[in-house]
Chain A
Amino acid sequence: MNEWQLTEDQKMMRDLARQIAQEKVKPVRAELDEKGEFPAEIMKVLAESDLFAVFVPEQYGGLGGGCFELCLITEELSKVCPAVAVSYAASALGAYPILLFGSEEQKKKYLPQIASGEKLAAFGLTEPNAGSDAGALQTTAEKDGDSYILNGNKIFITNGGVAEIYSILAMTDKSKGARGASVFIVEKGTEGFDFGKKEDKLGIRASVTRELVFENCRVPAENVIRKEGMGFIVAMKTFDSSRPGIGAQAVGTAQGALDEAVDYARQRIQFGQPISSFQAVRHMIADMATKIEAARSLVYKAASAVDSGMKDVSKLSAMAKLFASDVAMEVTTDAVQIFGGYGYMKEYPAEKFMRDAKITQIYEGTNQIQRDVIGLEVIKESTKKKIK
């Protein structure tokens, strides 16, 4: 799928997201960033405009799109404010386990609320001792009659506290190792489920990153996603579907920074001419634009692959996330360079894009982990070919 192949509906979604970003987000982004304030009002606007419905099937109150539509909107929002974009996209991340593996009852119960934007969702995997090494989870879920008792802490959870619906990984049977994890749907307000430390961050400051605390939290057995022991499969498939979204966030961040840099370069006069007339600056702009275009193509390809139902999308998804996030870091750094000293100042938008870009290389698996995934898949493909 390419940009020029968008359907009328997709163009409409993109244009609406762009309009909201320009009219509702841009005027407040610097203030939200400085205060580290969650954009609750903007989330309401996104909800009322049906933007949370684009990745949910029609029978569950959505508009029937998928990963591609999610990417289009995430990209548009990121062009103006990546923190708003991730608060939006994290709801999709929290919804994916239900979307991909939930029972009919779970889907009917939770997806319409997520599609309407009435409730935000979140995804909780990371723990103090389990980051890249997800297998080291310490949160436990012990079966007790018709329910499970959750104990443990999750950290760095996007939308923690503001979301109502949480997909949480916990160990149901430690002795089984990777096959002993399960995903639970936990609702805010459940007894024994509380929120801890709220992080003060380098970038995406308006998004909430918070600790989740489970203390003898009783969750009904019907809230297990698919079945006990499926935890890591659910998590990995979730990432396969959500990583193109991080790629889209990165592409939008880079594009937003480039647009600002180009505007600035055309206006800033040094040596009697706009700095955009210097070849050194112009070539920088050329490289930035080219990298973004390449990243966008890869993100769109991965997102379309996810929506096509293709079986093995891990490699493509990881590539999209990896490449686009590296591009975002490079491009936003160069954007600051084009702004010169002004780029270093908070009065101009360049430094925020640079701060906001960094996270895309870290979350939903660091870029080192993405390379591990890609490398493993490429080698696996090669051995398969040999057997044939």
Chain B
Amino acid sequence: MNIVVCIKQVPDTTEVKINPETNTLIREGVESIINPFDTYAIEEGIRIKEKLNGEVTALSMGPPQAEESLRQAVALGADKGVLLTDRNFAGSDTWATAYTLARGIKKLKDVDLVICGKQAIDGDTAQVGPGIAEFMGIPCITYVRKIEEIDENKMRVHRMMEGGYHIIDVPLPALITVVKEINEPRMPSLRGKMNARKAEIEKWTAADIACEVNNIGQMGSPTWVDKIFAPPRREKGVIFKGEPAESAGKLIEALKEKKIV
């Protein structure tokens, strides 16, 4: 079983600050971590490997410093890490990111399962996983909270829904994106960390994975971010207390005041 886990290095903060002039993330002074949802993807990949044997490859597209995240994945039990890094990848939107990652996965050959996080905590689009599957022409199941059964050819997964879940049978190769309910990621081990320190993280450029120049980076990105702004905070709701008749009366008054009725 060959498993690829896509991990994104993100700033360690849920309060991402944006430079209003350039509309880009302010990354200075913020420590980088593995996108938290991707840690569940790594854990699930390792668990499957422990059950069925095979190899887990952690894959990331990003600047050279994203190598650190790949080492962390190796410390947790991934067999190797591959970093797609090239100046020409800069400015990729979700389409170009998905394309590039799909090219990287193609070069890895004979991949049975691709695991992504549900979404990245900085970009937050949740588009990259499905995008990769689309480029690869394989089935995609998002929001997976459990892999009930898996063998070399197929698996049965639970997709989280509001108020329930779907049970889905899917042939392999396939791609899933996982939610945090799927597992509890392990702590790294000292031996793993020692391995990670020595591990060689392969670095592939656009040429190495035969990317079409027009499909990558800023050039290959159909999305243009026009403006980024923080939406106004939603105001606190009002609660009308009292007996049903009384509170309903107050509600009507309030609605009249706002000229809604």
Chain B: CB-nearest residue to A46: B187
Structural contact, B190 and A23, CB atoms closer than 8 A: no
Q: Tell whether A134 is near chain B: CB-to-CB under 8 Å.
A: no
Complex Cα distance A20/B188, Å? 9
Structural contact, B194 and A49, CB atoms closer than 8 A: no
- The 0/1 profile, CB within 8 Å of B marked 1, for residues 52-63 of chain A is 011000000001
Partner of A54 from B186, B190, B197 at Cβ < 8 Å: B190
Closest Cβ–Cβ distance, residue B196 to chain A (whole Å): 10
Partner of A19 from B187, B191, B194 at Cβ < 8 Å: B187
Chain B: CB-nearest residue to A45: B187
Surface stretch bound by B, among A8-16, A146-154, A255-263, A283-291: A8-16
Chain A residues numbered 53-110 whose CB sits less than 8 Å from any CB in chain B: 53-54, 63
Chain B: CB-nearest residue to A24: B187
- The 0/1 profile, CB within 8 Å of B marked 1, for residues 1-28 of chain A is 0000000110011001001100110000
Structural contact, B193 and A23, CB atoms closer than 8 A: no
Chain A: CB-nearest residue to B186: A48
Q: Tell whether B189 is near chain A: CB-to-CB under 8 Å.
A: yes
Complex Cα distance A53/B193, Å? 14
Chain B: CB-nearest residue to A54: B190
Structural contact, A16 and B194, CB atoms closer than 8 A: no
* Category for how many chain A residues contact B: 10 to 19
Contact residues in A for B187 (Cβ distance below 8 Å):
16, 19-20, 23-24, 45, 48-49
Contact residues in B for A142 (Cβ distance below 8 Å):
none
Closest Cβ–Cβ distance, residue B195 to chain A (whole Å): 11
Structural contact, A63 and B191, CB atoms closer than 8 A: yes
Complex Cα distance A51/B189, Å? 8
Residue with the highest number of chain B CB atoms closer than 10 Å, among A16, A23, A45 = A16
Q: Tell whether A194 is near chain B: CB-to-CB under 8 Å.
A: no
Closest Cβ–Cβ distance, residue B72 to chain A (whole Å): 12
- The 0/1 profile, CB within 8 Å of A marked 1, for residues 229-254 of chain B is 00000000000000000000000000
Closest Cβ–Cβ distance, residue B131 to chain A (whole Å): 32
Q: Tell whether A50 is near chain B: CB-to-CB under 8 Å.
A: yes
Chain B residues numbered 134-180 whose CB sits less than 8 Å from any CB in chain A: none
Complex Cα distance A50/B193, Å? 10
Contact residues in B for A51 (Cβ distance below 8 Å):
190
Chain B: CB-nearest residue to A9: B194
Structural contact, A63 and B190, CB atoms closer than 8 A: yes
Complex Cα distance A50/B190, Å? 6
Contact residues in B for A13 (Cβ distance below 8 Å):
190
Contact residues in A for B186 (Cβ distance below 8 Å):
45, 48
Contact residues in A for B194 (Cβ distance below 8 Å):
9, 12
Chain B: CB-nearest residue to A65: B190
Contact residues in A for B191 (Cβ distance below 8 Å):
50, 53, 63
- Extra contacts besides A16-B190, A45-B187, A63-B190 (14): CB < 8 Å: A8-B197, A9-B194, A12-B190, A13-B190, A19-B187, A24-B187, A48-B186, A48-B187, A48-B189, A49-B187, A49-B188, A49-B190, A50-B190, A54-B190
